[in-house]
A and B are shown apart, each in its own frame.
Chain A
């Protein structure tokens, strides 16, 4: 691909800048989700530990949920902002704007892979082992890259046009966080609510990830098919919507 080197440089730059800026460097990326999870663990482990099936542990369940959910929410926001953020380039040099959304999503993906280290540690401490299906997590990550890029492209159109859209999106992401079994097991919900949450693609993503990483959940083949189809569709839809409306907003940049 003609723009492969642009993507490579953008991804490296994104990661380098992130670690350069924080005092702890790369340590912070490992520490941040650990701390969040630790707090949630203290608060909720008594409530939810018993609700998980016997062979599953709460700590890796929670931590896997946190890093995967962070991947999603930070990815969507940064991919959506990448278009407006690079307007200086986009209005002077011809380059497909999608390159920026994709690069941002890929940087978040690398970030997510780095999170495997503390997650592995948590799995080990809680006395279970990393599954032989762990490499499937990488495929999950790449599906998530498609989902993030697709959603990011759709939102980027609105982000360019309306300044207050960011706040609305942040609220929606918070709602999504609570509607996704990140820190609670789905069985803690009422039967009716479970039926609805089962349609949440993020729920399937999390189930698959927890299962693939340390066999700490039960994901079905249906979950895999659902998220694959969903991600591919959102990706294609995002590209379509972006192409359709890009011309209307490029003059506003």
Chain B
């Protein structure tokens, strides 16, 4: 069976101006003074790995190690500078949920737009809105503008839209810690169902207990490189020891 995610030697580099200013005037002045320096910033270096159907890969590492960048590459938001990335099937990015929510629009309108952004099929939209609202527990608020929602309601609604149907690949960035205990249990169950249904999951988390529960592989990133990749217990043990 061929892997569902295949990442080959991916690097991500971008150029930044060292005297970073956001104005053309400044840039012009600095160019005249010969003070403009361009520096290449490397976020990821030679990343290679594969994920099979039913795998749950957790990515750990310190802040700034490149975890979220890698997740964005997997979501096809950031294209790799070199190397190749191929995936089969649909991708559901659960990254900072609720991107695209508009505070002045109603709950129903936001559900429709967010679903469209995620490339979902909008036939039978009434039914979809109803189910999503129900699952998030915001049915009575669906006709109200989103700015009247509490932050908990927003998070639940976003999660509900993004996970209304399973995808072949789920990219998860710390979103399992959403809502109260009851909703957390409910959302964990939905994730487990997806995993049992054969979806591949890539999860970024600082919560090692969550990782021990869900994942079967761990990638440890440091300074944009893979430091270790392998079974959960082994990698996490070394990772924890590195704090010592």
Contacts and interface: CB of A to CB of B under 8 A. Distances in A.
B15 A93 contact: no
Given A92-B93, A93-B93, A6 B27 contact: no
A86 B117 CA distance: 12
A248 B14 CA distance: 7
Residue in A88, A92, A161, A164 whose Cβ sees the most chain B Cβ within 10 Å: A92
Interface in B87-143: 91, 93, 95-96, 99-100, 102, 104-105, 109, 112-113, 116-119, 122
Residue in B43, B76, B119 whose Cβ sees the most chain A Cβ within 10 Å: B119
A3 B117 CA distance: 8
A86 B14 CA distance: 21
B79 interface: yes
Contacts of B113: 6, 9, 13
Interface in A207-253: 247-248, 250-251
A23 interface: no
A89 interface: yes
A89 B22 contact: no
B208 to A, nearest CB: 25
B116 A94 contact: no
Nearest to A161: B22
B24 A165 contact: yes
B72 A164 contact: no
Contacts of A168: 24
Interface residues of A, number: 27
Contacts of B1: none
A248 B15 contact: yes
A92 B77 contact: yes
A90 B78 CA distance: 10
B77 A90 contact: yes
A6 B117 contact: yes
A38 to B, nearest CB: 32
Interface in A176-203: none
Interface residues of B, number: 32
Contacts of A165: 24
Contacts of A162: 22-24, 27
Given A94-B77, A248-B14, A88 B99 contact: yes
Residue in A9, A90, A161 whose Cβ sees the most chain B Cβ within 10 Å: A9
Nearest to B123: A5
Residue in A88, A89, A164, A251 whose Cβ sees the most chain B Cβ within 10 Å: A251
Contacts of A161: 22
Contacts of A94: 75-77, 91, 93
A9 B99 contact: no
Contacts of B119: 2-3, 95
Nearest to B17: A161
B117 A93 contact: yes
Contacts of B24: 162, 164-165, 168
Contacts of B99: 88-89, 91-93
Contact of A92 (B23, B96, B122): B96
A93 B79 contact: no
Contacts of B102: 13
Nearest to B41: A251
A86 B79 CA distance: 18
Interface in B46-101: 72, 75-79, 81, 91, 93, 95-96, 99-100
B25 interface: yes
B115 to A, nearest CB: 9
A50 to B, nearest CB: 44
A91 B105 contact: no
A13 B77 contact: no
Interface in A1-30: 2-3, 5-6, 9, 13, 17, 20
A119 B93 CA distance: 47
Contact of A9 (B15, B75, B96, B112): B112
Of all A-B residue pairs in the complex, the 3 with the closest CB atoms, nearest first, are A92-B99, A94-B76, A163-B22
Interface of B: 14-15, 22-25, 27, 43, 72, 75-79, 81, 91, 93, 95-96, 99-100, 102, 104-105, 109, 112-113, 116-119, 122
Given A91-B77, A93-B117, A164-B22, 18 more contacts: A2-B119, A3-B116, A6-B117, A9-B113, A20-B104, A86-B100, A92-B72, A92-B77, A92-B99, A93-B75, A93-B99, A162-B22, A164-B24, A247-B79, A250-B77, A250-B78, A250-B79, A251-B14
